[in-house]
Amino acid sequence: MVRQSPQRPDADEPELDATDGPVDSASERGAANRALWDELRIDPVEIALPAGTGFTLRAYRPARELTPTDVAERDEDDPFLARRQVVETDEDDEEVVILDEEFAALTAEEDEQEAEGRRKGDAADADSEDADSEDADSEDADEATGGEEVPLFLTHKGRLLLFKTPEALVSFIRSGAPNDMSQLDSWQELTERVEPADIAPLDEDMYELDLVVENLRGGHDTWDPTLLIEAGEVARDLAYALRLPAVLDMLSAGSSLDDLDEALRASVNGGIGGFFGRRRLKKIGAQTASLGWRTIVGKISAVVDWRD
């Protein structure tokens, strides 16, 4: 007896559920979710830290369009930062008495300076033109820097807001609570359209900072390049957005952790570059790298505001 395959619905007909209503496929729902984020130029992000895993948001915008997060309150709560603050005091004005002979000496000095000024007049004019040109170049450089896209996370008063569930994140977005992302022109539309099902980060937007130190401690043969490279990327973004200069310095060009990052990138590229990258990795101390990353993860964790 031949078993007949169950009859499938026509490809042109919508899939029906138990109530005979159309059902969107998982791929269609995923496409709809991404369309929202692509349109608003904001992305959901998942970050795993030693204290747990949470969801947040990240966007990139030109630096000149963003107001950095205010860290004054956060830094006041940090005794180490408070200890470094310099208290400025105004000095009392002092009355200066000039004697006749001192006045004569000053007058002679002023006359000499005036003559010297006339002699240097032409040269000063030429220097002024050069200075104007340099100022223009400086303004162009500032404008270029202001146009560079920089990261912005869902933060408030220097702290990263992390939510343990998509529902909690969406509830916060809709609440109208103050946060640094509300300055974006697309924020209001996000508050009106986002749903918990939309909080589905892409694989490249999921970061496991909680595994970095343990992975580095395992030694060169166990290092996971993808894990470590992605950790470096999000740590730099967080350090910039949260105004953590110590973390930026530890990951800056020429630092030991930056050397580790470059060697990891080279090692996964293959070819002769990959060969030299693997050789460079063997020269990097596992203990030094793990201690450095433990400090970075600790500093980021210290400025997280966990929300249920």
Q: Do 180 and 121 reside in the same domain of the chain?
A: no
pLDDT (0 to 100) of residue 117:
52
Domain-located, residue 280: yes
Return the top range by mean pLDDT from 15-24, 171-180, 273-282. 171-180
Structure tokens at 276: 């030299």
Q: Do 128 and 223 reside in the same domain of the chain?
A: no
Q: Do 268 and 136 reside in the same domain of the chain?
A: no
Domain-located, residue 23: no
* Alpha-carbon torsion angle 129, 133, 136, 138, nearest 10: -120
Domain-located, residue 201: yes
What type of residue sits at position 187? W
pLDDT (0 to 100) of residue 132:
53
103 pLDDT exceeds 60? Answer: no
Domain-located, residue 284: yes
Q: Do 142 and 154 reside in the same domain of the chain?
A: no
The pLDDT mean for the chain works out to 79
**pLDDT band, residue 111 (cuts 50/70/90):** low
Please count the structural domains in the chain.
Answer: 2
Q: Do 185 and 213 reside in the same domain of the chain?
A: yes
Domain-located, residue 87: no
Q: Do 182 and 278 reside in the same domain of the chain?
A: yes
Domain-located, residue 14: no
**pLDDT band, residue 87 (cuts 50/70/90):** very low
**pTM for the full model?**
0.71
What type of residue sits at position 273? G
- Which stretch of DSSP H or E encloses residue 172? helix 166-175
Q: What are phi and psi of 119, to 5 degrees?
A: -65, -30
pLDDT digits (tens, 9 = 90+) for 246-280: 999 999 999 999 999 998 988 878 767 766 677 78
Domain-located, residue 230: yes
pLDDT (0 to 100) of residue 194:
97
Domain-located, residue 212: yes
Q: Do 62 and 188 reside in the same domain of the chain?
A: yes
- Domain span holding position 278: 41-82+150-307
